[in-house]
Structure 1
Amino acid sequence: MAASTASRLSPPRPTASSPYPRPPPRLSRFSSLRAAKMEAVLSIGTHVIPHPRKVETGGEDAFFVGGDGGGVFAIADGVSGWAEKNVNPALFSREVMANSSTFIKDEEASNDPQILLMKAHAATSSIGSATVIIAMLEKTGTLKIASVGDCGLKVIRKGQVMFSTYPQEHYFDCPYQISSEAIGQTYQDALVCTVNLMEGDMIVSGSDGFFDNIFDQEILAVISESPGIDEAAKALAELARKHSVDVRFDSPYSIEARSRGFDVPWWKKLLGAKLTGGKMDDITVIVAQVKTVAVPDDEGSGVEQEKGGEQVTVAATASAEQNE
């Protein structure tokens, strides 16, 4: 009787010719697949083109890329007006970026771009001023941004611009800026915001020399046509440079100038003329793509695997002399 009960409660034992499929193998609690969790990282490309008259000195822009998983980048644009006081405007922006690369290792600053800006600025001893933008990607996919002035950042998703920062300025062509002087702005004046990102989102950031000379639709076209982030950064910088020296190009800068009342004399307007042309300047472009990687948690086997099999590599620099 006991044998009869057992035969009713137990499933048939599968054989080679049995119609019953084998159950899937159970994953061990120590399996690397079970232990893996997904984290967001950035794959980053950069390109710098100095002002045509500042090629020998490398220009006055500076940038920094680094952090855990390449999740931090920053741009500082030295204010050229200091040259009139016999001060090299590049020294201030480069030192701010160098200090950013140092303080990113600080626990408090590593999670807050505004705090990183505060510490980098406070440690800078050079004379001058600069506009600055700092962006940090958390492993959860949240992008934190702190910006003083008119360096910019755009997020592109599925071929559309879904987020843009906006410049801070005292008046036209005079942006907010952190400075060695007490009258300048500080981290407390920064535009601070967060954006929730998805895998595949593209981030395009740059100095005003970039955004003054290129339109959103041009950025979208270059991104869609570029095979990778390095190629995209280079193509965007070169297109902005081309526009910057074209006196006939109706640039974002010239359109903004006309809207603020800056234009050709009235008698030229009667002849149909208007203020046009790009704005020659240092051009810095950073293009980043959000990727997800599978990493082991505390129970994992120690194996790290990136989704898609690509290796994310990140370069760090605190100088705008990339092309030299």
Structure 2
Amino acid sequence: MSTASMRRAAPLHRLRQVASHLRAPHRSLPSVASPLSARTFARSASSSAPSRPWIFTTSAAFHGKPGYRPAPASAGLGPDHPLVAWRDQAMREGNAPKEGAGHDWWLAEGIPESDGSGSKGVVLGVADGVGGWEESGIDPSHFSQSLMWFARERVRTARWALPPPTKAGEGDESGMALVDLLDGAYEDVMQEEGVVAGSSTACVVALDAETGMLHAANLGDSGFIVLRPQPASDLPPTPPPSPPTDASTFTPPTPSVLYRLVHEQTPQIHFFNAPLQLSKLPAAERAQADKAEKDGKWLRDLPRDADVVNLQLEDGDVVLLVTDGYSDNIWAEGETTRLVELVRTKLDSEASSSSASKDGTGASPSPGSRSASDAALASSIAQTAVNFARVVSVRPDVYTPFAAEAKRWDVKGMVGGKVDDVTVVCAVVRRGGDA
């Protein structure tokens, strides 16, 4: 069976698990994902701004591996480094669990207007540090945190700018601007003495508030997903539900809005469970590694190896950046789409209940409507996605993307979920102005 076929074969009872999880999201976990406050990024309303700006509301959620405790590091970032204050503030805002974010990290930074009056859009990112560095006395999270920090600083201080307007499919120039951002951040990490060594995957995405374009660069097996709301009439007929089992008698509610998968980023790997990644070796080993690279005995991945994407967004789209703690456990098509539908349905139901006495209507929301607060929607999607991935990750009886990939590579004994750090950054897309 092909990987695509295996992805379509996700059993229906998993969808019931999503719905059941939404009913009681806290029962099966000792702690839940930590959501960050939602933030909205929009182009300024000055007279020179376009009449139909795009608005992006973002939120993030994270959770380290169960029981994760950072191993004592022999060297690393000092407590007075500005990155540490930025990281700790994010942890406080997210009411971080004891496991923190593990080796994952992320960013969400507005792209400043030249006059400082607003945002041209937002840059989002996720990075997944390689845990094996702990064996060498190095904190793996320092590399991923620094990569996101330096990317943020380049955006914040206008050392990086949005690419000129480009339509989807017109080439990779706009996506290459994100490669340039990643390349600059990587070079900064290489120069940072506080980062002794480390490795990380990386995904950076820019959302343009003038054009509604998404530009992305992805290296490794982190990635992003784009979902689009649509009327039920646009979908093929839904097959009848399978009979309930003793373990699952709950029937999911009918979604108020349906979503379809528009884009799922393909992971970049060298071989099974070995993604492309940016790396920094200890100083004592770099000369030897350079020689090994010249001799073809060592593979070194660079930002230029990243896949680039340009995609036109539409009103109501949901963009998710995820580390592999999510994508190894949850299918994008069928499960992530259903999860977003159920979160949206729950919020719409709550909003309808609170407003029913005011207007006396019970109309269903349109696909692009804003019945649910975008801030609540972004936050709820991110938190629910992380929590659900954690539930699935510890189950041996589920068929996951990780198990499917192991089967494709003929790796034996890899069944069920994969326990890992999980980070999800969510953006809800709106077209403002007179649209």
Q: Same fold (TM over 0.5)?
A: yes
Tell me if structure 1 keeps the 8 A contact 2:397–2:416: yes
Which of 175, 182, 189 lines up with 1:117 in the alignment?
182
The alpha-carbon distance between structure 1 residues 113 and 248, as it changes in their structure 2 partners (threshold 3 A), is same
Which of 205, 220, 223 lines up with 1:135 in the alignment?
205
- Structure (1 or 2) with the greater helix fraction: 2
Which of 243, 263, 266 lines up with 2:392 in the alignment?
243
Which of 395, 418, 425 lines up with 1:286 in the alignment?
425
Q: Distance in 1 between matches of 2:156 and 2:422?
A: 28
Which of 276, 282, 291 lines up with 1:176 in the alignment?
276
Structure 2 residue 221 is the aligned partner of structure 1 residue 105: no
One-letter amino acid of the counterpart of residue 212, structure 1: D
Q: Distance in 1 between matches of 2:132 and 2:324?
A: 15
Tell me if structure 2 keeps the 8 A contact 1:108–1:115: no
Pairwise CA RMSD: 2.1
Q: Distance in 2 between matches of 1:232 and 1:170?
A: 31
Q: Match for residue 147 of structure 1?
A: 218
Cα distance, 1:160 vs structure 2:
0.7
One-letter amino acid of the counterpart of residue 126, structure 2: I
One-letter amino acid of the counterpart of residue 260, structure 1: W
Percent of residue pairs bearing the same amino acid type: 28
SS at the partner of 2:52?
A: strand
Q: Match for residue 50 of structure 1?
A: 64
Q: Match for residue 80 of structure 1?
A: 131
The alpha-carbon distance between structure 1 residues 106 and 174, as it changes in their structure 2 partners (threshold 3 A), is same
Tell me if structure 1 keeps the 8 A contact 2:65–2:99: no
Q: Match for residue 67 of structure 1?
A: 110
Q: Which runs of 5+ in 1 are unaligned?
A: 1-31, 265-274, 295-306, 309-324
One-letter amino acid of the counterpart of residue 162, structure 1: V
Tell me if structure 1 keeps the 8 A contact 2:403–2:416: yes
Q: Distance in 2 between matches of 1:54 and 1:292?
A: 41
Cα distance, 1:110 vs structure 2:
2.8
Tell me if structure 2 keeps the 8 A contact 1:65–1:72: yes
Tell me if structure 1 keeps the 8 A contact 2:329–2:401: yes
Correspondence list, 1:1-324, <5 A: 37-54=51-68, 56=98, 58=100, 59-68=102-111, 69=119, 71-107=122-158, 109-111=160-162, 112-124=177-189, 125=192, 126=195, 127-138=197-208, 139-158=210-229, 159-181=259-281, 184-216=300-332, 217-226=334-343, 227=347, 228-264=377-413, 275-294=414-433
Cα distance, 1:81 vs structure 2:
1.3
Q: Distance in 2 between matches of 1:161 and 1:147?
A: 18
Cα distance, 1:41 vs structure 2:
2.6
- How many residues are treated as equivalent by the alignment? 255
Q: Which has more radius of gyration?
A: 1
Q: Match for residue 14 of structure 1?
A: none
Q: Distance in 1 between matches of 2:272 and 2:340?
A: 29
Q: Distance in 1 between matches of 2:404 and 2:321?
A: 21
Tell me if structure 2 keeps the 8 A contact 1:47–1:233: yes
Q: Distance in 2 between matches of 1:132 and 1:171?
A: 18
Q: Match for residue 304 of structure 1?
A: none
Tell me if structure 1 keeps the 8 A contact 2:321–2:426: yes
TM-superposition CA deviations, 1:47-84 (whole Å, max 9, x none): 10111132645200000001234521100100111112
Cα distance, 1:293 vs structure 2:
3.1
Q: Distance in 2 between matches of 1:254 and 1:36?
A: 47
Cα distance, 1:229 vs structure 2:
1.3
- Structure (1 or 2) with the greater strand fraction: 1
Q: Distance in 2 between matches of 1:106 and 1:113?
A: 16
Tell me if structure 1 keeps the 8 A contact 2:63–2:99: no
The alpha-carbon distance between structure 1 residues 190 and 36, as it changes in their structure 2 partners (threshold 3 A), is closer
TM-score computed with the length of structure 2 as normaliser: 0.56
SS at the partner of 1:110?
A: coil
Cα distance, 1:185 vs structure 2:
1.5
Moved more, 206-215 or 112-121: 112-121
SS at the partner of 1:262?
A: coil
Tell me if structure 1 keeps the 8 A contact 2:322–2:425: yes
Tell me if structure 2 keeps the 8 A contact 1:75–1:97: yes
TM-superposition CA deviations, 1:175-222 (whole Å, max 9, x none): 000111465322111111111111111111100110001012111111
Cα distance, 1:36 vs structure 2:
6.1
The alpha-carbon distance between structure 1 residues 282 and 35, as it changes in their structure 2 partners (threshold 3 A), is closer
Q: Distance in 2 between matches of 1:57 and 1:35?
A: 43
